[in-house]
């Protein structure tokens, strides 16, 4: 009799559980799937990351929905391993300290991704010592901090065993002394054996401001003086990829370092803002100045961006084996500079991918004629991919452009245009030629 009652009880429990799943289908989802869903709730866009100690952060919200969700959330250590801390928002120090301890406890032994935002000196903040105790687990750090407050992080020196990526940005005006006399150097990240990626903004003369294991860096992004970049290359023999935002060198009352050959660099992006060329000392601009002082025999990809009308392009390459070249300008390339561009293209016979900005004005015919392989067989003979970013919203189809494409049709695999041309009214032989060329998916519209 007792056994029958127990069987009936178990049957009723199963029935109740199945009814719950009908009412709430989420109950039927396996726990590992729920865990993956939770992880997708983490912010991935750095510009939109919420403060982790805000009660509305995803891990805290998910752990308050119901008992089952709380169990999954608390046991998912990866959910608690991304920290974004905005110290200037904290008014209740004890509550914030408690929440930080919860994060660190629930993250277990997971690697920690940290984003740290401070606009005032954090020395008296009791959250800092607790945060620094987790330093051995930091793998990726983004720091936004006043210049003088950087030294408050020196306590982690020698404990960053896992650190792989570092970004530093000052929230105030740092000193701009161009020489090595700036001190004391920021040394918190001096002993980080796995650090490979370093980026910074507003840290001028970074090589003299910060002690990091420069010789191990493979990926670098920075806004600095051209002369500092040249010195940086000498300190980074393992560097493979660099994105450089050239600042005004006119404040430097010293000669530029001698030219240097970097054997390992494979990808280089150089960027000029308006102020980069608004000087009387180096009118050629930061890009030409930099590329005339370094040689990169292994360089495969070069990207040059100009945010001003005074465009200057090196007429000779810093790398003879270049495969990909991109020139992004905000205005039409001047006629005299177009000749330098063609000289550069003649000196890069290995180039297979070319991308550039065009207004499709008649003055740019120098480039289009120069790229016509029937007229200039020595200009990038192995070109397979050609991309044009049109500066005009209504680019007109020209016969010079069609001639260029027809001459390259055999070797080209793709022709990418940022937008379609404005066509002449039919009937028109030029339109017919272009239609024949663009059929079959050879022409792709829109940028990647």
Per-residue pLDDT of 326-367, as tens digits, reads 999 888 888 888 888 888 898 888 999 999 998 888 888 889
10-63: per-residue pLDDT in tens? 777 776 666 655 555 566 667 777 778 778 877 655 545 678 888 778 888 888
Measured CA to CA, the distance from residue 342 to residue 2 in angstroms comes to 95
**Can you give the pLDDT at residue 249?**
63
CA distance 131 to 138: 10
pLDDT value of residue 122:
59
CA distances from 267 to 206, 213, 219, 262, 302 (A): 21, 21, 9, 12, 6
**Integer CA distances (angstroms), 201 to 54, 171, 303, 348, in order:** 27, 10, 19, 32
**84: Cβ contacts below 8 Å, ≥ 6 apart:** 43, 49, 50, 51, 52, 114, 115, 117
Cα separations (Å) of 93 from 43, 53, 126?
24, 11, 7
**Confidence band for 236, pLDDT divided at 50, 70 and 90:** very high
Q: How confident is the model at residue 283 (pLDDT cuts 50, 70, 90)?
A: low
Contacts for 70 with CB less than 8 Å, ≥ 6 apart: 62, 63, 64
3-class secondary structure, 45: coil
Taking alpha carbons only, the member of 387, 372, 315 closest to residue 346 is 315
DSSP track, 233-258: HHH-TT--EEEEEEEP-TT--SPPPP
Q: What is the DSSP string of 373-438?
A: TTT-TTSSTT--EEEEEESSSSPBP-HHHHHHHHHHTTT-SEEEESSPPBPPPSS-HHHHHHHHHH
Q: pTM for the whole thing?
A: 0.84
Task: Give per-residue pLDDT as tens, 169-191.
Answer: 888 776 655 455 555 578 889 89
Helix and strand numbers (H, E) in the chain are 13, 16
Q: How far is CA 121 from CA 146, 151, 230, in A?
A: 7, 10, 33
Burial 9-27 (b: 16+ CB within 10 A, else e): eeeeeeeeeeeeeeeeeee
DSSP class per residue in 424-437 = PPSS-HHHHHHHHH
For 302, the 3-state DSSP assignment is strand
* HSE-up (13 A, CA, CB side) for residue 261: 5
- Rounded Cα distance, 191 and 204, in Å: 22
Q: Is the pLDDT of residue 268 over 80?
A: yes
State the angle between helix axes of 31-40 and 67-75 in degrees (0 to 180), rounded to the nearest 10: 70
Q: What residues pair up with 167 in beta bridges, in sequence order? A: 142, 199
The gap between the terminal CA atoms of the chain, to the nearest Å, is: 73
Given a contact cutoff of 8 angstroms between Cβ atoms, the answer to whether 370 and 379 are in contact is yes
H-run or E-run covering 303: strand 301-306
């Amino acid at each position: 009799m007792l056994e029958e009652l127990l069987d009936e009880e178990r049957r009723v429990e199963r029935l109740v559980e199945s009814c719950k799943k009908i009412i709430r289908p989420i109950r039927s989802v396996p726990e590992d799937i729920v865990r993956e869903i939770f992880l997708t709730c983490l912010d991935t866009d750095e510009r939109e990351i919420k403060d982790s100690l805000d009660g509305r952060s995803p891990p805290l919200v998910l752990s308050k929905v119901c008992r089952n969700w709380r169990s999954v959330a608390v046991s998912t250590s990866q959910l608690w391993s991304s920290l974004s801390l905005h110290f200037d928002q904290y008014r209740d120090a004890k509550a914030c300290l408690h929440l930080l301890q919860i994060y660190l406890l629930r993250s277990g032994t997971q690697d920690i991704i940290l984003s740290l935002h401070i606009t005032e000196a954090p020395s008296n903040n009791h959250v800092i010592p607790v945060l620094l105790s987790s330093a051995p687990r930091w793998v990726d750090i983004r720091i936004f901090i006043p210049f003088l407050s950087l030294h408050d992080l020196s306590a982690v020196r020698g404990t960053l065993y896992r650190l792989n990526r570092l970004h530093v940005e000052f929230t105030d005006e740092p000193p701009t002394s161009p020489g090595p006399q700036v001190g004391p150097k920021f040394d918190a990240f001096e002993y980080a054996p796995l650090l490979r990626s370093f980026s910074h903004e507003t840290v001028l003369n970074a090589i003299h401001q910060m002690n990091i294991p420069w010789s191990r860096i493979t990926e670098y992004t920075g806004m600095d003086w051209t002369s500092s970049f040249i010195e940086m290359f000498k300190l980074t023999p393992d560097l493979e990829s660099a994105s450089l935002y050239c600042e005004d060198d006119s404040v430097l009352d010293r000669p530029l370092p001698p030219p240097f050959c970097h054997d390992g660099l494979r990808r280089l992006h150089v960027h000029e803002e308006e102020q980069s060329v608004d000087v009387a000392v180096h009118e050629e601009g930061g890009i030409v100045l930099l590329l005339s002082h370094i040689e990169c025999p292994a360089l495969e990809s070069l990207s040059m961006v100009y945010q001003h009308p005074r465009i200057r392009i090196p007429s000779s390459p810093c790398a003879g084996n270049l495969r990909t070249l991109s020139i992004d300008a905000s205005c039409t390339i001047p006629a005299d500079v177009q000749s330098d561009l063609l000289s550069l293209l003649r000196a890069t016979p290995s180039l297979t991918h070319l991308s550039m900005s065009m207004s499709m004005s008649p003055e740019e015919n120098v480039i289009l004629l120069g790229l016509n392989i029937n007229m200039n067989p020595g200009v990038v003979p192995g070109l397979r991919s050609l991309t044009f970013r049109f500066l005009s919203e209504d680019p007109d189809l020209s016969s010079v452009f069609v001639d260029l494409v027809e001459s390259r049709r055999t070797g080209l695999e793709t022709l990418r245009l940022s937008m379609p041309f404005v066509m002449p009214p039919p009937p028109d032989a030029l339109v017919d030629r272009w239609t024949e060329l663009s059929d079959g998916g050879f022409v792709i519209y829109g940028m990647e």
